[in-house]
Amino acid sequence: TNQPLIVSSPDQLSEWDRILPGKPVPEYEIPWQVALLDTTYGGLFCGGTHIGEGWILTAAHCFFDEEKQKLKKSQIVVLSGTTNLIWGGQRSVPVIDPITHEDWNPETKANDIALIRISGEVPLEKASLVDSVLESSLISAGSNLRVSGWGTTTENGDISTKLLKADVPVVPTSSCSQAYGGMVNENQICAGKNGVDSCQGDSGGPLAGLDGVGKSVLVGVVSFGRGCGREGFPGVYTRIFKYRDWIQDKTNI
Ligand code: 4AZ
């Protein structure tokens, strides 16, 4: 449909208070970024990344509500081809129910990864998935990765109607795991610093790095965090490289 979405009223925050803090993404800079909208209220519930042939990579926790019931395909619309959540772009519907990882654990948040299949009619650019050699150089502690989304621009704040991006420094898994009481392991990447982070609604969206020729490669999926942008609590991302076989198995990508 071409109905405008119902989103939170535009907030009063300055550009720099957004995605903690974010910069607006120019149109076409991250063309594989999608928004997942819930048809029951028309609003954003997660982000996602087009990885090819109508497959959207996202987070498993996106599809479970408070009662831990899975969202079905009829409750989901995939918005692509726009940085503006309200106007423009294409809307696609999933052709099958979301495929969530078999070992997704809502208590520990382990294996927070999922796939959505949309009909292949929308020509969407795809993100490349990181390989092992590139990955090891991209996730060395202190290097920056880029996260993007329409998520809230402060903890418990409003979502952004414009797609925002932020560069987040990689934090060693050991110290991150300590902060999160042992919940984080080598299947995850931690990134972020005081005031620079992803937040609610960014979940499922891309964490990306640049290869040797400046081409974007997908490294992680926004998963969780204690609050947003808090000192000592970086954002936690699903480490895509560790799920390469799972993705291949489900999608042939
Ligand atoms: C969320 O609630 C969420 N700071 C996502 C990412 C982060 C925190 C919360 C990371 O979806």
d(CA 61, CA 27): 28
CA of 202 relative to ligand 1 center, distance in Å:
7
d(CA 8, CA 157): 10
Name the band, by pLDDT with cuts 50, 70 and 90, for residue 8. very low
**CB of 92 shorter than 6 A to ligand 1:** no
Based on the residue annotation, tell me whether 197 is a catalytic residue of this protein.
no
The model's pTM: 0.92
Kindly report the average pLDDT of the chain as a whole number: 90
| Mean pLDDT of the region 220-248 | 97
> Which atom in ligand 1 lies closest to the alpha carbon of residue 234?
4
Among the options 80, 92, 101, 112, which is catalytic? Answer: 112
Please give the residue that has the higher pLDDT: either 65 or 169: 169
d(CA 241, CA 187): 8
Token pair recorded at residue 151 = 């998520």
d(CA 244, CA 181): 27
Residue 14 has pLDDT above 60, yes or no: no
Query: Among 2-16, 37-51, 80-94, 155-169, which is the least confidently predicted range?
Result: 2-16
Identify which of 222, 236, 238 to mutate to test ligand 1's pocket (most ligand atoms within 8 A of the CB): 222
**Residue 59, Cβ neighbours under 10 Å: how many?**
27
Name the band, by pLDDT with cuts 50, 70 and 90, for residue 119. confident
**CB of 112 shorter than 6 A to ligand 1:** no
d(CA 45, CA 55): 18
Based on the residue annotation, tell me whether 112 is a catalytic residue of this protein.
yes
d(CA 87, CA 7): 12
Residue type, 182: G
Asked if 49 contacts 206 with a C-beta cutoff of 8 angstroms, the reply is yes
CA of 198 relative to ligand 1 center, distance in Å:
6
CA of 95 relative to ligand 1 center, distance in Å:
27
Nearest CA to ligand 1 atom 1: 200
From the DSSP assignment, how many helices (H) and strands (E) are in the chain?
3, 15
Annotate 143-166 with DSSP letters as a single string. Answer: -EEEEEES--SSTT-PPPSB-EEE
- Per residue in 46-98, pLDDT (tens digit) is 999 999 999 999 999 999 977 677 899 999 999 999 999 999 999 999 999 99
Query: Among 20-24, 92-96, 170-174, 244-248, which is the least confidently predicted range?
Result: 20-24
